[in-house]
Amino acid sequence: MVRWVRCSFLILSLLVLVRIPVLAADWPQPTPQQLKMTFDPDAPGAPAVYLDYDESINDEQDFDSVFAEIKILTEKGREEFSDIPIMLLQDRWNPYYIPGNAQITGIEGRTIEPDGAVVPFTGKAFKKDVVVTSGWKVTETAFTMPQVQVGSIVEYRWELAYPQSAMDPPDWVIQRPIFVHKAHYHYARADTIINYIDIRDAQGHEHTASRMLYYKFLPKNAKVTMLRDGNGDMTSYDLVVENVPPIPAEDDTPPLNSFAYRVALYYSPGGNESDFWKIEGGSWSKDADRFAASSDAIKAAVAEVVSPGDSDEQKLEKIYAAVMTVDNTDFTRTHTQQENKVEGGKTKTAADIWANKRGDSNQITRLFIAMARTAGLKAYDVITTRRNQSILNVGYLNWGQLSDEVAIVNLDGKDLYFDPGDRYCEFGKLGWIHAQMLGIRQTDSGTEEATLSAQSYTDNETFRKADLTLGADGSVQGQVQVIMKGVEALRWRQDALSNDAEKAQKDFEKAMQERVPDGVRVKMDGFDALTDSTSNLLARLDVSGTMGTTAGKRLIVPAEFFETNVKPPFAAETRQNPIDMRYPYAQQDKVTVTLGPGLSVDSLPQGTAIPMAKGGEYKSIYSHAGGSYTAVRLLALGNTIFTQKDYPMLRGFFQGAAAQDQEQVVLRGAK
């Protein structure tokens, strides 16, 4: 997270900053071996490798610079490293240049052909939209290297200048998508003004910095060197690393910053680890309580929602349902300050959120807490991270790691977790991005670390039912129903909210179409309970087309209708990272096929059961009676986190299930 910090204008005005240019320097000369290289034994199969990389940030002189030397080894490497993005060095988790925060002051580059011929870069930077995740685009500033081909060496350097009021220590991710032979990182801080830097916490409160710290996770034998001047004062931080393996491109990995080599420098207001989280937690808790304070407006809202004879659980259910009607701007659209002014809206308290009937996720959570407390219940706030983005590291003294708030309500002596800020999350449940995450919670005596409640596979169930009629010529028609509870229901409800119901239906239809047998066409008929999180979400689809292949007088059709074209996970034989399956789930399918005139069952697959030692189970059952056959399939996963040592077990389980999913039914009487 970028943390913009302010420094005294008076002190800055007394400093004479003379920037040292890094461009127009001599280029290094690649060795004959590097020019001829077609394969790197240190990185077998790599599309490209960094021969050298140098990154320097100078807060004393307000500039960043990068130099890189990349050997292109394959066509994929040529495609990936012909366009070079200009990155904002301080924010490695969002590596895209942000206009306005910095100015490009120089770009140089050259491409060296395998025969040693040099083609200089003479172009300019350009902007283009980059799709980072579905539905989200950012503008990337990049430049194109000339005449890059397989075997080329690409060399470039660029520099950014920053406003003097913006000083931010770097967060270096040392591992990159490709192997790095040698890299150098350097940070020169504005040491003479450290005591004039104000750090803003998550609530906007300012704290004066008293020191600089850093969090590190580095390869063996690599270390950060702290450089001092003649007076013994710290001036800069330096790091040299060699032979850094790439970030493994593996599916189902924990968030990048939980396992990638990294150095994060940051200003700190002082204190040890325990004091830091206690002080910052107290500041956050005080702000949360102020926002969630009871008032006449909140009392009136609660009186409107609950009845005098309601039990505590009934009160909670009614309050939760009422809060869920508030427009969550994290899923729709945040109103501008001008719109709020015109509409008379403000967002300083929970009462404001209720009056405006809109707020962001954390504000809605605090509204739920305010109403629960006003109803006489013991409710607490918890702040945590998102499981798909980061994991709280208490050794990294940066409150900015924490982003999302959920609620705890003590009911009959038991703490129950609620996620009203995760729109359409079911009552009494946490969204999967918050389940089992470490965070900071309120208590009656202050704040403390807390691990949020976990999910069970019964929280996330999907039941897929197909009723089909199959003709002797392979023609098929029928209906499909998909009943969803938990993660899948939440996914499609939020898709409809963020976009619209029509797009959600098209997306669901496409997802189902990619699963079913070739020749089969599924057409969405609609969702039921799309906006009602108290009910299971139901998707209805019509089926038409053809299914199966003929072999003489036999028709051979897939036994598992919903898994025919699904690629099994974990195809690789080995694994380098831990595995995070995100959430536990249960998936049950029932496919009933009524046979047309002349068709009969010749053979069905043998049913099977595949257990997994660490919380997994797969079953398939096949039967036929009269003029139809039925295939039942169950796959349940109870655990979500697995180590590298667990990988053979996990892979074997899913590979075995996938093999069974490719079994076939043989029918007699095909035309």
What separation in angstroms does the CA of 240 have from each of 91, 141, 184? 20, 28, 5
Angstrom distances, CA of residue 182 to CA of 73, 336, 544 = 17, 47, 58
User: Rounded mean pLDDT of 507-521?
Assistant: 96
Please give the pLDDT value at position 511: 96
Same domain, 256 and 285: no
pLDDT of residue 300: 97
Handedness of CA 491, 496, 499, 501 (dihedral sign): positive
- What pLDDT shows up at residue 266? 83
Residue type, 453: S
| Residues 43 and 164 grouped into a single domain | yes
- Provide the sign of the torsion angle of the four alpha carbons 268, 270, 275, 281, taken in this order: negative
The pLDDT of residue 451 is above 90? yes
Residue 641: how many other CB atoms lie within 10 Å: 13
Give mean pLDDT, residues 630-648.
95
Q: Are residues 357 and 496 in the same domain?
A: no
| Separation in Å, CA 324 to CA 296, 319, 431, 460, 612 | 21, 9, 14, 20, 38
List, for residues 2-35, the tens digit of each pLDDT value.
333 333 333 233 333 334 444 656 899 999 999 9
Distances in Å between the Cα of 78 and the Cα atoms of 152, 154, 155 are 9, 10, 13
Q: What is the pLDDT of residue 95?
A: 42
pLDDT of residue 204: 61
- CA 620 – CA 607 distance, rounded (Å): 5
Asked if the structure places residue 1 within a domain, the reply is no
The answer to whether 172 touches 180, Cβ cutoff 8 Å, is no
User: For position 265, which CATH number holds?
Assistant: 2.60.40.3140
pLDDT surpasses 70 at 134: no
Rounded Cα distance between 191 and 234, Å, is: 7
Q: Are residue 517 and residue 642 in the same domain, yes or no?
A: yes
Rounded to whole angstroms, what are the CA distances from 368 to 308, 427, 462?
A: 19, 12, 29
The predicted structure's pLDDT at residue 7:
36
Residue labelled with tokens 């009656």: 444
Greater model confidence, 341 or 182: 182
- The pLDDT of residue 332 is 82
Categorise residue 659: left if φ over 0, alpha if ψ from -120 to 50, beta otherwise. Answer: alpha
Q: Are residues 58 and 93 in the same domain?
A: yes
Residue 23 pLDDT: 62
State the pLDDT at residue 270.
Answer: 67
> How many domains is the chain partitioned into structurally?
3
Domain holding 503: CATH number?
2.60.120.1130
pLDDT for the residue 655: 95
Q: Which residues contact 652 (CB under 8 A, 6 or more apart)?
A: none
DSSP string over 544-602: EEB--EEETTEEEEES-GGGTTPPPS--SS--SS-EE--S-EEEEEEEEEEEPTT-EEE
Residue 519 per-residue DSSP state: T
Identify the residue whose tokens are 């409107």.
304
Structure token digits, residue 480: 């499909």
Asked if 589 and 631 touch (Cβ cutoff 8 Å), the reply is: yes
CA–CA dist 87, 55 (Å, integer)? 11
Regarding whether 420 and 522 lie in a shared domain, the answer is no
- Does one domain contain both 544 and 644? yes
At 9 the pLDDT is 31
Rounded to two decimals, the pTM is 0.83
Only one residue has tokens 């300012």, namely: 206
Q: How far is CA 504 from CA 62, 374, 511, in A?
A: 46, 37, 10
Distance between CA atoms of residues 540 and 563, nearest Å = 18
Mean predicted lDDT score pLDDT of the chain: 87
Are residue 25 and residue 169 in the same domain, yes or no? yes
Q: Which tens digit of pLDDT belongs to each residue from 210-225?
A: 778 888 989 888 999 9
pLDDT of residue 92 exceeding 50: no
> CA-CA distance, 661 to 410, in Å (whole number)?
45
Residue 171 pLDDT: 86
* 357 DSSP 8-state letter: T
Q: How far apart are CA 583 and CA 60, in angstroms?
A: 46
Question: How confident is the model over 391-411, as a mean pLDDT?
Answer: 91
21 compared with 269, residue with greater pLDDT: 269
Report residue 340 as tokens.
């709020």
- Residue 294's nearest CA partner among 379, 211, 210 is 379
Residue range 67-80, pLDDT digits in tens: 999 999 999 999 99
Neighbours of 294 (CB within 10 A): 15
pLDDT, tens digit, for every residue of 304-330?
Answer: 999 999 999 999 999 999 999 999 999
Co-location of 604 and 653 in the same domain: yes
Percent of the chain residues topping a pLDDT of 70: 86
Secondary structure class of 463 (helix, strand, coil): strand
What is the enclosing helix (H) or strand (E) of 90?
none
User: Cα-flanking dihedrals φ and ψ of residue 170, to 5°?
Assistant: -80, 155
Question: Do both 394 and 462 map to the same domain?
Answer: no
Among 243, 270, 297, the domain-final residue is 270
Does 294 or 167 have the greater pLDDT score?
Answer: 294
- The CATH number linked to 427 is 3.10.620.30
Evaluated on CA atoms 256, 262, 263, 269, the torsion sign reads: positive
Whether residue 3 is contained in a domain is answered as no
Pick from 454, 486, 505: which residue ends a domain? 454
Range of the domain at 257: 9-270
Give every CB contact of residue 439 below 8 A, 6+ residues apart in sequence: 382, 383, 384, 385, 392, 402, 406, 449, 450, 451, 452
Q: Is the pLDDT of residue 133 over 60?
A: no
Would you give the DSSP letter of residue 287? Answer: H
For 307, other C-beta atoms within 10 Å of its C-beta total 9
Q: How confident is the model at residue 254 (pLDDT cuts 50, 70, 90)?
A: confident
The verdict on residue 550 lying in a domain is yes
The mean-pLDDT minimum among 25-34, 77-86, 89-98 falls in: 89-98
Local structure of residue 255 (DSSP, 8 states): P
Residue 263 counted as domain residue? yes
What's 115-158 look like in SS3?
CCCEEECCCCCEEEEEEEECCEEEEEEEEECCCCCCCCEEEEEE
Residue 556 resides in a domain:
yes
Q: Is the pLDDT of residue 569 over 50?
A: yes
Instruction: Write down the H helix ranges in 292-378.
Output: 296-305, 312-323, 337-343, 350-356, 361-374
Both tokens of 295, joined, read 């008032």
Please say whether the beta carbons of 319 and 313 come within 8 A.
Answer: no
| pLDDT at site 471 | 95
pLDDT at 526: 96
Same domain, 262 and 221: yes
72 and 166 in a single domain? The answer is yes
Q: Does 2 fall in a domain?
A: no
Q: How far, in Å, CA of 432 to CA of 490, rounded? A: 10
**Would 4 be classed as within a structural domain?**
no
Q: How far is CA 104 from CA 60, 133, 139, 168, in A?
A: 18, 26, 15, 17
Is 94 a domain residue?
A: yes
Single out the residue in 255, 270, 285 at which a domain terminates. Answer: 270
Cβ neighbours of residue 599 closer than 8 Å, sequence gap 6 or more: 470, 471, 472, 555, 627, 667, 668, 669, 670
